[in-house]
Structure 1
Amino acid sequence: MKSFSPFVTVARGWALVLIVCMLGLSACGPDKPSQSSDKAASRASFRVAWSIYVGWMPWGYAQDAGIVDKWAGKYGIDLKLVQINDYVESVNQYTAGKFDGVTAASMDALTIPAAGGVDTTALIIGDYSNGNDGVVLKGKSSLADIKGQRVNLPELSVSHYLLARALQSAGLSERDVTVVNTSDADIVAAYQAQGTTAVSTWNPQLAAILASPDAKLVFDSSKIPGEILDLLVVNTETLKQHPELGKALTGIWYETAALLVADSPQGKAAREAMARMSGTDLDGYQAQLRSTYLLDTPQKALAFMRDPALKESIDRVRTFSFDHGLFGADAKDKDFVGIALGDGSTLGDPANIKLRFDPQYVELAADGKL
């Protein structure tokens, strides 16, 4: 990418403090706008939070371009997509019931709301990172050179997971390095510090760091395809009570995703708008898109959701999460949280299913029934 905005530093990560004031989730809450007419008052109202990330920009664009209102109107609901400038806070607010849905990485959906007891459905798998996350060494070009180094990264985030997978690929473990907890907002500045020799981070921060002549990318998420997933998740009980919300959100995603990849003036205009919203230019945004594997059609998403490889990647993520204490003190093993997968199988405790990859709404889109 050609430019980097210091104001656009939110991305996918994890917070040690789980907000677990939950279960009393409803479609309408005190933070939602009051309705001024009898007709409006009869419509269910929903809010969904999203954050700046290349694969989530279509949600913000859809809100601005009227696509959200179009699909919400079709299903007789009021729906607002709200940008939150702190990604972790957006997931915490969803967990606390302030939002009906949120954009989240699969690891965070598992370890924050699901592990905290909030039954959560992965409605949309929008993409997986295919190079948007990377491990960078300063002045060294071999991953093996990371041994003995201090690695700056947001601890217990997807960047931490990426580092663990990188070390495994080199026959190393986390015992061979020292992790230095560094926020995503500070990671670019931390790399510039004289004593920093290694970082693990994501775009757009990764692109900014790689602009330095001494920065060497030694491992990235293209080496672990399908493991760092970017989702739109919705509260399962809300979705059960209001399937129209699932239909509207699914319609919004696939209409906007089609624009995102369209080779047309309308597609270019949409990408330019998404680039501006994310703090870069068109070239910079398209560079990030090239390292993102978009599931831009329902057919792609269904195939991915039903692929046995998804079960394998989710198992790796939950193993990392348990090993690093992200399931909380009550978890005796990695089976603590039950996960229902799109092929009908499960991982973990079937009596405690809290994360669900539900393909039914994507199936409607694939069949042209939305």
Structure 2
Amino acid sequence: MIRLIGKAGRVAAIAGALMLASCSKAPDPAAAHRKEFSIGWSIYAGWMPWPYAQQAGIVKKWADKYGIKINVVQVNDYVESINQYTAGKFDGVTVTNMDALTIPAAGGKDTSAIIVGDYSNGNDGILLKGADRLAAIKGRQVYLVELSVSHYLLARGLEIAGLKPTDVRTVNTSDADIVGAFGSPGATAAVAWNPQLSVMKAQPGVKQLFSSAQIPGEILDLLAVDTATLRANPDLGKALTGIWYETVALMQRQDAEGKAARAAMAKLSGATPESFDGQLSTTHLYADPKAAVAATVDPALVKTMTQVRDFSFSKGLFKGASSADAVGIAFPGGKTLGDPQRVTLRFDDSFMKLAADGKL
């Protein structure tokens, strides 16, 4: 899964943003009623329905229904896709819950997560050489993409193992380099995501000793949309939600059409059908919109986002903030985490509810 934010990328993304963004519900003048929109995506098993839907005509079908045009645009670098969204080039982007919080939201861009698509259920893991217990990581250098969901996974693994962040030293490594870096004799610990994780795990003497399956629901993969654009153009949210659930329903099927859809997604991601199916097996897809709504209204989401924002604040990702409460996060039912006057990340279940009720 290509879901990374290096330190330099985060600094660049956040540096020009203002923490004191208004959270007024008045529509942004720049987000007037429009007919054409762009959504950025990057390669990850749980996000491959988007390019497939475009290829298969499902995007056009739903866009035509609402009289709009939707461009689904691949960005090879995940951090760049978020940067472009934050800068206004895209109206929406595929993004993790942590990255939605720490880049656009922390930078003052009011963002709504309208589709909770999946959670990593083993797609992210901690690897060690020559060890059978995670406790053996103490004192080692750990190769990972710093300040990313990999860094968060490491923090949670250390916590569960009774260790402290200071018990290890992290080595910032890009997704392009991490497989090669871990292959060197001196590298004995790493945190990675699929497909790199699978390649690294196959190296001799390597064992996976912690994974996202042990913290289910904490690493979420979302479709996030600019809130002002969404309010001025609610049909965009309806079309995107329709696209998502039609495509995911197709890829879940075990008949020839479902198999063909998954094979096409595998090809679009540069994987074999077998490898792609393996990545899907460690991705908990919310294929049923009712399940996605239930996950979004579950109090566990507030707990998860509390852990995520506290970790993010501790790493200095809320630039200039004096506390973790500086960035407000809104949940269905009126619950707010942090400053209610500075809400810039919203979990909006309204469009998923329309899908669940068959009202799209």
Q: TM-score, normalised by structure 1?
A: 0.91
Deviation at 1:213, TM superposition (A): 2.2
Deviations along 1:52-92, one digit per CA (max 9) or x if unpaired, are 00100000100111000000000000111001100000000
Q: Identify which of 271, 283, 291 aligns with 2:262.
A: 271
**Aligned equivalents of 2:114, 2:316: Cα separation in 1:** 26
Q: Does 1:332 align with 2:332?
A: no
Q: Do the aligned partners of residues 148 and 203 (structure 1) sit closer, same or farther apart at CA in structure 2, a change above 3 Å counting?
A: same
Deviation at 1:27, TM superposition (A): 5.4
Residues 283-362 of structure 1 correspond to what in structure 2 (within 5 A)?
283-329=274-320, 331-362=321-352
Q: Does 1:45 align with 2:36?
A: yes
Letter in 1 for 2:13: L
Contact 1:27-1:100 at 8 Å conserved across structures: no
Q: Which runs of 5+ in 1 are unaligned?
A: 1-8, 29-41
Q: Identify which of 2, 26, 34 aligns with 1:10.
A: 2
**1:135 aligned residue:** 126
Q: Indicate the structure with greater helix content.
A: 2
**Aligned equivalents of 2:55, 2:5: Cα separation in 1:** 26
**Aligned equivalents of 2:122, 2:31: Cα separation in 1:** 36
Contact 1:128-1:226 at 8 Å conserved across structures: yes
Identity %: 58
**2:233 aligned residue:** 242
Letter in 1 for 2:300: A
**Aligned equivalents of 2:87, 2:340: Cα separation in 1:** 24
Runs of 4+ that moved beyond 3 A: 19-28
**Aligned equivalents of 2:41, 2:336: Cα separation in 1:** 28
Contact 2:293-2:349 at 8 Å conserved across structures: yes
Contact 1:48-1:82 at 8 Å conserved across structures: yes
Letter in 2 for 1:18: A
Letter in 2 for 1:13: I
Q: Identify which of 353, 356, 359 aligns with 1:363.
A: 353
**1:116 aligned residue:** 107
Contact 1:67-1:252 at 8 Å conserved across structures: yes
Deviation at 1:267, TM superposition (A): 0.5
Deviations along 1:173-202, one digit per CA (max 9) or x if unpaired, are 110000111111111001101110100010
Deviation at 1:301, TM superposition (A): 0.3
Deviation at 1:21, TM superposition (A): 6.3
Letter in 1 for 2:58: I
Backbone CA RMSD of aligned residues:
1.6
Letter in 1 for 2:275: G
Q: Per the alignment, in what secondary structure is the counterpart of residue 102 of structure 1?
A: strand
Deviation at 1:278, TM superposition (A): 1.1
Q: Per the alignment, in what secondary structure is the counterpart of residue 18 of structure 1?
A: helix
Residues 66-105 of structure 1 correspond to what in structure 2 (within 5 A)?
66-105=57-96
Letter in 2 for 1:159: S
Give the count of matched residue pairs: 348
Contact 1:21-1:96 at 8 Å conserved across structures: no
